[in-house]
Structure 1
Amino acid sequence: MNASRSAGFANKTTLFLIAGALAAGLGLTLAQKYFHAPATPAAAPAPALKAVRLIQPARALPDYRLTQADGSELTPATLRGHWTLVFLGFTQCPDVCPTTLADLAKAQKEWERMPAATRPRLLFVSVDPERDTPQILGDYAHHFHADTLTATTAEPALHDFAQSLGLVYMKVPLEGAGYTMDHSATMIVLDPEGRQAGLIRPPLVPADIASDLRLLTEQKR
């Protein structure tokens, strides 16, 4: 075979290889288009939060039944449809509880402009049912903000509820007489399905909490 014929043969071979590659690529594209399942849409990006630390995935809670200030039951269904902050405390708390409720009342003031059907909620749960009757608890919390939900229950249901959220508390005897309650200062964030979706740790910045819960509420619409 002379040089010109050899070059022509090489050129034809190259063209066949290119054509084959293009055909294979086209076939792959068509196969992906007509036979492959469509790609799963990417999850919506989480909003940029300052105070709330989200938990992924959100965790379902066991069933619970607490008693509200008006004597009615508080169950998971009571909180459904709203983002909810859960905070443990007691009415005779000397510092952390009143300070926290005062800070959260500032966030609640911001939420008053949001529709009542989706407005974030605060649930204050007393870990001292021996002294905090439902009415005493409600009167105490509503002094800070009228929208605050309150609840408590007897043992061991109260312990089970706190434990399901990863929170703790204990009775601490005082010198002489009486007692106080030590309890977690972390707040738990429940999503509109009632699942544990995040937490907030001190120190609290009311403006950041208000902004975060507004963003979360708007994202779920």
Structure 2
Amino acid sequence: MFNRTTLYILIAALAAGLGLLAARHVFEQRAATPQPPLQAVRLFSPPRELPAFSLRQSDGTALVPGELKGHWTLVFLGFTHCPDVCPTTLAELAQAQKRWEALPEPVRPRVLFVSVDPERDTPDRIGEYAHAFHRDTLAATADVPALENFAKSVGMVFAKVPAPAGADASQYTMDHSATLAVLDPQGRWAGLIRPPFAPAAIAADLAALTQASP
């Protein structure tokens, strides 16, 4: 005959065993659940932590890693004097932004435009420029060393190209990466999108990732 203490021990062991089986079942179900099919976004495994950075937003406040948490974010490097790639890309992203406007604001994907031309692009200027494409677009810049560190952390580069000989020195341009960096809701570099950009595919991917996030 079992005494009462032995009975309690057996009941506790049985409960623990059932708990482990239930946890294993949930884990196996989650593991068997396919990732959302993505058309444009290429995700990394695992995501990569970003080193500390500090950019200056168009409203004058600091943009630090914590500000980017809670949302999937697309990061694009550019400058307001860009003649073609920048306005085209921001216009395409604006189309994607319109498609995901129905998502709840607390988790809605975001677009971050980072100017790599702080010599000409003041916070006010980048804000006006970015918001002309979509009101929700974030805009930021910094001094060149800080921009270089940030760009490197998301696999991008940029460089100043002097004006042609005989031209006004202020007529320089900027070479920069044209890819989009994808940051996850933990603020990590989670993937990228390469051009050419398809707004519908980008919007579908970001909506799927948002809905799949815990």
Structure 1 length-normalised TM: 0.81
* 1:113-124 to 2 correspondences below 5 Å: 113-124=102-113
Please name the residue that 1:189 is paired with.
182
Instruction: Quote the residue 1:179 is aligned against.
Output: 172
Q: Name the Cα RMSD after superposition.
A: 1.7
Q: Equivalent residue for 1:55? A: 44
Q: Please tell me whether residue 164 in structure 1 is matched to residue 150 in structure 2.
A: no
Structure 1 residue 45 displacement after superposition = 2.4
Give the equivalent residue in structure 2 for 1:78: 67
Residue 151, structure 1, aligned to residue 140, structure 2: yes
Per-residue deviation at 1:155?
2.2
Q: Is the CA contact (8 Å cut-off) linking 2:116 and 2:144 kept in structure 1?
A: no
Pairing partner for 2:85 from 84, 89, 96: 96
Partner SS for 2:90: helix
Structure whose alpha-carbon radius of gyration is higher: 1
CA–CA separation in structure 2 for the residues paired with 1:196 and 1:164: 8
Separation of aligned partners in 1, 2:187 and 2:68: 6
1:107-130 C-alpha deviation (Å, 9 max, x unpaired): 111111110000000000000011
Q: Secondary structure at the match of 1:167?
A: coil
Determine the C-alpha separation between the residues in 2 that align with 1:116 and 1:75: 20
How far apart, CA to CA, are the structure 1 residues paired with 2:137 and 2:159? Answer: 24
Letter in 1 for 2:46: P
Deviation of the 1:190 alpha carbon: 0.3
Q: Equivalent residue of 1:156, what SS?
A: helix
What are the equivalent positions in structure 2 for 1:2-151 lying under 5 Å apart? 41=28, 43=31, 44-151=33-140
In structure 1, the residue matched to 2:209 is 216
* Secondary structure at 2:144 match in 1: coil
- Indicate the residue corresponding to 1:6 in structure 2: none
Aligned residue type for 1:146: R
Tell me the secondary structure at the aligned position of residue 201 of structure 2. helix
Give the Cα separation in 2 of the matches to 1:159 and 1:120. 25
Confirm or deny that 1:206 pairs with 2:199.
yes
Give ranges in structure 2 of 5+ residues lacking alignment: 1-16
Deviation of the 1:79 alpha carbon: 1.1
Partner in structure 1 of residue 14 of structure 2: none
TM-score (norm 2): 0.84
Q: Which structure 1 segments of 5+ residues have no match?
A: 1-33
Percent same amino acid among aligned pairs? 61
- Structure 2 CA distance, aligned partners of 1:78 and 1:189? 15
Residues of 2 paired with 1:212 and 1:103: CA distance? Answer: 15
